[in-house]
Structure 1
Amino acid sequence: MSSVQGPQKLGPLTPLVGEWEGDVGVDLSYHNKDDDTTETGYFEQAVFSPIPTQENGRQSMEGLHYKMTAWRHGEEAMDPFHDEVGYLLWDKANGQVMRNVVFGRGIAILAGSDAGLRDTELHFDATPGEAAYGILQNKYLLERAELKGFTSVFTFNADGTFTHHSDIVLKLAATGEEMHHTDRNTLARVKRYHPSARLA
């Protein structure tokens, strides 16, 4: 179990600060052109940077701005097949972590759950229609691939890597059925943001 280092300002988000890479990603998704659900291997880069303290009245949150980009294996010199930007937030007083993410295809999600200061597994959950942790999508997707649920887990591993896994439940108009679009990858830090720190 990895320990959280530093002054704890970012709480359980502390281990993420820096730049990461992972080459063992697997994306399971439906492909309209082939009318098939297949797995795709991918390489991924992720950047997590601290942001100023966020204050909403009496609420005070610390957080990270982040960006995650993925390329199919063999296409690393080409356009990525996935790109997302967002914020990870830590509300210490209320014991909550949040993932505020925007996908380029016209999807916005605010997901969250309970969390403790030194948790090494963080859960981010969202459901359409929920007032707090919910999902928005563009009209076309709502008609063709309606998002019915979103779950995501970040796990900090004992060897210093971190693993993320996400599961998006979609109702596909093409098949009339629900499917699970999943992603998973394990990333290693390639750059720290503290000048005196060295990679192990």
Structure 2
Amino acid sequence: MNEILGPQRLGPLTWLVGEWEGNTGIDVSYHNADDQIGKTGYFEKAWFHPIPKTENGKQSLEGLNYQMTAWRHGEEAMDPFHDEVGYMLWEKATGQIMRVVVFGRGIAMIAGGDAKERDKILHFKATPGDPNYGILQNKYLSERAELRGFSGSFTLNDDGSFSYEQTLVLKLATLGGKEMQHTDRNTLHHISSNSDNCCHS
């Protein structure tokens, strides 16, 4: 098993620090141009930077800021089809972990869960309307592709890579108001501890 050594000020976020790349991404979503649900393969870059400890009164948060950017296979020299920026936060006193994220589609979300100091699997969940771990979206999406829920996980693998899988539950107007699951998953490999130059292509 891949050991996590040394000080753990960042707790379960420690192993995420650095620059990552992955080329086995799979996006399962509704393709408007084809009027059907399909799969898209993608290449992805990500970086995670430590930030100063944040104090909210008696609350103390450790964290990272991060960016994840993805390109469809064959379009790596073109504009990405997905980009997100945000923060990964951990509160040691309560064991709460948070993914505070903004997607380039006009979506903002705080997804949360429980995590211990040396956990290698991090779970996140968000529900629209929840006052703590909720989802906001722009008016067009509310009318055409309403977000009904989010769940996801990050997993540190034995070889030092990390995998994620996440699912957005969508109510699609084009499917007559039926719900579908938009799922993304990828495995990324650690390429550098210095992430200053990642994801700004």
Flag as ranges the 4+ runs of structure 1 deviating above 3 A: none
> Tell me, what secondary structure is at the counterpart of 2:174?
coil
Q: What does the per-residue CA deviation read over 1:97-124, in whole Å, with 9 as the maximum and x for residues that have no partner?
A: 1000100110001001111111110001
Tell me the residue number matched to 2:24.
Answer: 24
> Tell me, what secondary structure is at the counterpart of 1:15?
helix
Tell me the residue number matched to 2:49.
Answer: 49
Q: Kindly report which structure 2 residues correspond to 1:27-176, keeping only aligned pairs within 5 A, or say none.
A: 27-175=27-175, 176=177
Once residues 62 and 178 of structure 1 are traced to their aligned partners in structure 2, the CA distance between those partners, rounded to angstroms, is 36
TM-score by length of 1: 0.95
Tell me the residue number matched to 2:188.
Answer: 187
Once residues 152 and 85 of structure 1 are traced to their aligned partners in structure 2, the CA distance between those partners, rounded to angstroms, is 16
Q: CA RMSD in A?
A: 1.0
Identity %: 66
Once residues 40 and 170 of structure 1 are traced to their aligned partners in structure 2, the CA distance between those partners, rounded to angstroms, is 18
Once residues 193 and 184 of structure 1 are traced to their aligned partners in structure 2, the CA distance between those partners, rounded to angstroms, is 24
State the AA in 1 paired with 2:97: V
- 1:193 positional shift: 3.3
In the alignment, structure 1 segments of 5+ residues that lack a partner are: 195-200
TM-score by length of 2: 0.95
State the AA in 1 paired with 2:132: A
- 1:4 positional shift: 2.2
In the alignment, structure 2 segments of 5+ residues that lack a partner are: 196-201
> Tell me, what secondary structure is at the counterpart of 1:33?
coil
Tell me the residue number matched to 2:199.
Answer: none
Report the number of matched residues. Answer: 194
- 1:72 positional shift: 0.4
Once residues 39 and 114 of structure 2 are traced to their aligned partners in structure 1, the CA distance between those partners, rounded to angstroms, is 31
Contact 1:3 1:118 in 2 (8 A): no
Once residues 29 and 102 of structure 1 are traced to their aligned partners in structure 2, the CA distance between those partners, rounded to angstroms, is 19
